[in-house]
Structure 1
């Protein structure tokens, strides 16, 4: 195996291959930064261009673009509060507040470094633990997916802001949006209001663009400031930020591992990984109230988690032939086009290509670091663009991005509707995070519950499916702890803040009398 890895590294370090990977990494960053142009779309557009390349080079180009796009989503999330990809939603929570504090460069450099660390950790798991992790992923059926979604919904408390009730209202509305479309059992359309295209349900990307970008554009127009925030390039910021980020080893490692495990589960992806990791980092933090106000740990945990999913989503694809994410499904097409059959035989019959691709993901992350450090300086200066120029550009990109997903004007109207709803929700102090979380996890929860109900008709009972399977039990325990944990911590803090002084009670009163 070590010999195959060494040969793969030598193949990757070919000058022409490195040049192609560098160009694809830059293209990926641009694709990820622009709202609506997701990593899936970028990889799908690149697949035809790899026809004339050698198999290994073509796969490396796709992997480099995927890596760059996952990081690129953080740029717009941090600078304009609009995640370029669904995986970067959690990055907006602390990234944009840092920009408003004049620390855009610090947030961007941190996001880049966390992305690289997460990508490397995920690739290490892919190289050395792909088979046992793939078998673990196979243990996730509909009941486990249901409980994973329920566990994810407990994160609403972390995203709610000042009011948990308003957070729950937002999450409930997101769940209601997830119900739009065809009923998975009867096939009957629900809440489509006569629009045939809504049978497929609310597409996450236009909804996400609407909830984040349109309220931002309207708020920009309302403000009297000329710029989003003040920004001045500071000397030594790169060295200081890199040192600061690497000192947070526990946050980086924990978030990367969470992203690795969540990323290999079919149907989860970087957005769920970012939410779960964000919640756990906030739970373990000594200052949880600082999250959402510009805590650098929030940026670290989101970006390290969602970039760890790049490699981990390929674990079930390369070992079992089962895509772990939409991008992995597109990569499956790339593998088949080049005559490669994913599965157990891939690492034996085509070991040279397979190991070159896997090792190339490590090289892609190093290239991302080099390209990103150069680009960060230019991205940070974007906030120096006057608001009266920037707001129309964001609005146009939002419309183009929404339309390009399915070439449907309905997606544009969905984006605008969600945007107006998100604007008025913000006026009521309901943040878009819980709404998007409800929309993402509502689909997963419903599909898991419905498929479990279908299985129970001809097999084990619902109780057996939901409450006796080992992974389900673990997720149930985590869900209970996630709900009760904050309550117990609050009680403990209140006792520390209000200690009872036994010596000052009735004894002193009696003595005084």
Structure 2
């Protein structure tokens, strides 16, 4: 009954006219950036962080959350019709979705993606609501030692589950930890690694870093790319799937939902990992595996359900433990910090309207997205005809204005530009910027909790292994490290991202 009373408060908050408007704006922007290739949710949320400074905290987080899970819907549209994934988690959808469109079944593919996403989103939000209370109660048992061990687990998990080179992922995490040390030491009050630059004594601006390595860098990378793909907008007929389609895709969507729900809560997990894992699972289980890559409807339903479930359950560790599980959640931490809200279990008691309002808004947002995506497919595809030479300069100007408006300081704009160049170099070298941002966010929190734990234990490091919960988390970290070390398991991990 307590859960229902909390959800009643959440819907009362989410159904206010102002929050409904921002939920719609978030879903609309999410669909838009999902459709437009190169503008992922992390880039967009990074660019909009300065805007949220002027909004009420609840409205700001509802809008940013709508952008994140809305991008999963929009990304499937261009993946199916143009073979150009608008979002990284839609890469898998393009494999069979585009082949269905080539065979004149674009309508069925789009409807399958939309229905699977809606089912998964609603179920994952239910899981989020159900897990919120017990995980928050568990979180109150955490001390500094447990929080430190949990953050170590989060960083190691981000490395293990990241696609690409493990060495590069570790290097990016370490660079993020180093950047997080810049500023004034909390205990001694001495500036460190600021190189006598007054603007750095308060640390590197989170918005400048995020906007630089995501916003500016993505603009430079995408301006380089010029591609032309065939668009199947004239082949969208019979939007509603047939009975045979339902028989085939509903079980795949159910499996994708379950898989995405679990993977979304893991450190380093989220939409992209869930989509790849679901496609691999469906291909292994299907009796029609030969159809995969040629227009198998299961290859659309499973990944689309998984990426939406993963995107919404990734809010569980953020809202209950205050730990971001992926880069978008790290940006959400930045948004909460802007509004002087400390992520963690105390949010449920200190800001219950924000906590439950955000959860309730996800059900409302999923309903909005069904309306925004299926009937308006033609409108979204026409946006692809907007030349990049018009789109990206406007985004660049918007970024500069946003960064400057936070502190009215041109130094932040220069820092953003510098990180933009660095982000471009990372992209050219095949180095994901996401681990860097996770290291930057978690680094200062790890340092603070380690110092507190050692202060309480009078400098005895054994406190990290003598406390049962902390020891369990460190053991889990060790298991993940063994996963990286064992060649057979490492090969399986790589296949999860390459099999598609």
Matches within 5 A, 1:30-69: 33=33, 35=44, 45-47=54-56, 65=63, 67-69=65-67
Partner of residue 182 from structure 2, selected from 180, 183, 187: 180
Q: Which whole-Å CA distance do the structure 2 matches of 1:208 and 1:237 have between them?
A: 42
Q: Return the alpha-carbon distance in structure 2 between the equivalents of residues 312 and 179 of structure 1.
A: 24
What secondary structure, in the 3-state scheme, does the structure 2 residue paired with 1:200 have? coil
**Match of 1:420?**
421
Out of 139, 162, 179, the residue aligned to residue 137 of structure 1 is 139
SS in 1 for 2:44: coil
Is 1:459 equivalent to 2:439 in the alignment? no
Q: What is the CA-CA distance between 1:136 and the residue it aligns to?
A: 0.9
Which of 479, 482, 485 is the aligned partner of 2:480?
A: 482
CA-to-aligned-CA distance 1:437-492 (integer Å, 9 cap, x gap): 13323442443244333342343654343113333223222222222224435279
Structure 2: stretches of 5+ with no match in the other structure? 34-42, 79-85, 285-298, 323-331, 342-346, 493-500
Please report the TM-score for the alignment, with normalisation by the length of structure 2. 0.65
Q: Separation in 2 of the partners of 1:492 and 1:157?
A: 9
The answer to whether the Cα contact below 8 Å between 2:147 and 2:446 also exists between their aligned partners in 1 is yes
CA spacing shift, 1:307–1:462, aligned 2, 3 Å = farther
Residues 312 and 172 of structure 1: CA distance in aligned 2, closer, same or farther (over 3 Å): closer
How many residue pairs end up in the alignment? 433
Asked if the contact 1:116–1:307 (Cα under 8 Å) also holds between the matched residues in 2, the reply is: no
Gap change, CA 1:238 and 1:325, over 3 Å in 2: farther
Distance 2:466 2:273 in 1: 26
Aligned to 2:192: 190
- For residues 120-140 of structure 1, give each alpha carbon's deviation from its aligned partner in whole angstroms, at most 9, with x where no partner exists: 5334542x4543222112133
Question: Are the aligned partners of 2:271 and 2:306 in contact in 1 as well (CA < 8 Å)?
Answer: no
CA deviation profile, 1:390-421 (whole Å, cap 9, x unmatched): 33233233323433444433332222111111
Cα contact 2:27–2:365 (8 A) shared by 1: no
Show the counterpart of 1:209: 211
- 8 Å CA contact retained: 2:174, 2:439: no
Contact 1:211–1:418 (CA under 8 A) maintained in structure 2: yes
Quote the residue 1:267 is aligned against.
Answer: none
CA distance in 2 between counterparts of 1:170 and 1:108 reads 39
Counterpart pick for 1:199 among 176, 198, 201: 201
Write the distance in 2 (CA, Å) between the matches of 1:110 and 1:282.
14
User: Normalized against structure 1, the TM-score is what?
Assistant: 0.64
In 2 relative to 1, CA 119–325 (structure 1 residues): closer, same or farther, beyond 3 Å?
Answer: farther
- Mapped pair 1:436 → 2:434: yes
After superposition, give the CA deviation of every residue in 1:193-246 in whole Å (9 maximum; x if it has no partner).
Answer: 333332332334332332233333334444454x5x554335269767998587
Q: Is the 8 A contact 1:213 1:419 kept in 2?
A: yes
How far 1:67 sits from its partner (Å)? 4.2
Cα distance, 1:20–1:471 mapped onto 2, change above 3 Å? same
- Check 1:167–1:345 CA distance in 2 against 1; reply closer, same or farther (3 A cut): closer
Structure 2 SS opposite 1:247: helix
Show the counterpart of 1:232.
232
* Structure number with bigger Rg: 1
What residue in structure 2 maps to residue 308 of structure 1? 313
Cα deviation, residue 30, structure 1: 5.0
Equivalent residues of 1:93, 1:298 under 8 A apart: no
Name the CA shift for 1:441/1:28 in 2 (closer, same or farther; >3 Å).
same
Q: Is the 8 A contact 1:231 1:381 kept in 2?
A: no
1:159 to 159, 162, 171: 162
Contact 1:210 1:416 in 2 (8 A): yes
2:270 partner SS = helix
Query: Do 1:63 and 1:361's aligned partners in 2 also have CA atoms closer than 8 Å?
Result: no
Cα 1:195–1:6 change in 2 (3 A) is closer
- Give 5+ residue unaligned stretches, structure 1: 49-58, 81-90, 263-271, 289-294, 318-323, 334-340, 495-513
Q: What is the alpha-carbon distance in structure 2 between the residues aligned to residue 402 and residue 10 of structure 1?
A: 32
